[in-house]
Amino acid sequence: MNTTTGQSKLNVRDLIDEKKKTKSIRNVFEKLIPSILLVIASVSILTTIGIILTLITETVLFFQDVPFLSFFTGTELKPLGQNAVFGILPLLTGTVISTIIAMFVAIPIGLMTAIYLSEYASEKARRVLKPILEILAGIPTIVYGFFAFTFMTPLLRSFIPGLEPTNILSPGIVMGIMIIPMVASLSEDAMNSVPNAMREGALALGSTKLEVTIKVVIPAAISGIIASFVLGISRAIGETMIVTIASGSSKNFTFDVTQSMQTMTAYIVEVSGGEAAAGTTLFHSLYAVAFTLFVFTFIMNMVAQYISRKFREEY
């Protein structure tokens, strides 16, 4: 009897000791978790800082050889040869024009698509059409580039005889097609967030479906809609493969969309894939253009966030 009681006490004591050990290990693990998560969360921040420092360092070296004003106001870009000239305006012009063309395609089509999916389509139609629309976002951009070069350009040349084999019009249109899912999806999400009570109230007052959409839903969702436009512009500014393949490498400072032009991203691809020796002015120009592109994209993202916060409606 005493032996049984002693064994019982021993077993209970062992269980208590084991429980304490388990709890101690768990406490150590719980204390380590915040540190591990902090390190993981810091990866993106440290990566961004590293990218910015790299761009700034190489850009400063570039401006030691090329005057700042001549770079941003020069209309000629001739990076090769002994008398190299570095003016970014031809690249800025190509980037801006291609972006404007893309948004002329993406904004109206994307917004009307969002209006249909949000306000007019049935639930069954929405479940079918939205995944089909979003397939466009999953197509590799190099495929879009060859589509612009081999299909869109010959098609446009049949209507515009003066269109060059490589031009800025064709890739601009195809970029707009590529951006349509982004504009449509984000705009639809913004319109879907508008409470149905607002729609029902407007309909009860005698408004038509179109009037409700234009005068109630769109104004209520305007922050998300404009943010989708700005993000689409940012996406178009940073596009690379479409313009690299279809717009050519002519560094023309022109506003004629039928001519070959080069964007900032296409120039970066050309220089990084060429024979620019490390440490040369041509090599450093790659970083100067990349830093300019980074600033453009950063400003557009900040504008999108500002608009979202400024005009956000909470229901």
Structure confidence by residue, pLDDT tens digits, 238-297 = 888 888 888 888 888 888 888 888 889 888 888 877 667 777 888 888 889 999 988 888
- The CATH number assigned to the domain holding 235 equals 1.10.3720.10
Task: Say yes or no to pLDDT of 107 above 90.
Answer: yes
Residue ranges making up the domain that contains 188: 89-310
Task: Say yes or no to pLDDT of 72 above 80.
Answer: yes
- Together in a domain, 206 and 250: yes
> pTM, whole model, 2 decimals?
0.82
Q: Please, is 157 exposed, middle or buried when counting C-beta atoms within 10 Å of its C-beta (0-12, 13-18, 19+)?
A: middle
CA atoms within 13 A of residue 123's CA, in its CB half-sphere: 0
4 — pLDDT class (breaks 50, 70, 90): low
Q: Does residue 134 sit within a domain?
A: yes
Q: Check residue 110 and give its pLDDT.
A: 92
- Together in a domain, 165 and 301: yes
Q: Does residue 66 sit within a domain?
A: no
For the stretch 132-135, contacts whose Cβ atoms lie closer than 8 Å and that sit 24 or more positions apart, written own/partner, are: 133/180, 133/181, 133/184, 133/185, 134/181, 134/185
Q: What is the mean pLDDT of residues 81-93?
A: 84
- Together in a domain, 41 and 127: no
- Together in a domain, 43 and 94: no
- Together in a domain, 55 and 95: no
Tally of residues, the chain: 315
Structural domain count of the chain: 2
13 — pLDDT class (breaks 50, 70, 90): low
- Together in a domain, 154 and 216: yes
- Together in a domain, 56 and 93: no
Q: Does residue 111 sit within a domain?
A: yes
**Amino acid (1-letter code) at residue 192:** N
Q: Read off the DSSP letter of residue 168.
A: S
| 207 vs 57, residue with greater confidence | 57
d(CA 108, CA 177): 11
- Together in a domain, 120 and 52: no
Q: Check residue 224 and give its pLDDT.
A: 85
Task: Say yes or no to pLDDT of 24 above 70.
Answer: no
Q: Does residue 79 sit within a domain?
A: no
Q: Does residue 74 sit within a domain?
A: no
Q: Does residue 193 sit within a domain?
A: yes
- Together in a domain, 157 and 282: yes
Task: Say yes or no to pLDDT of 131 above 60.
Answer: yes
Which of 60, 81, 103 terminates a domain? The answer is 60
- Together in a domain, 23 and 131: no
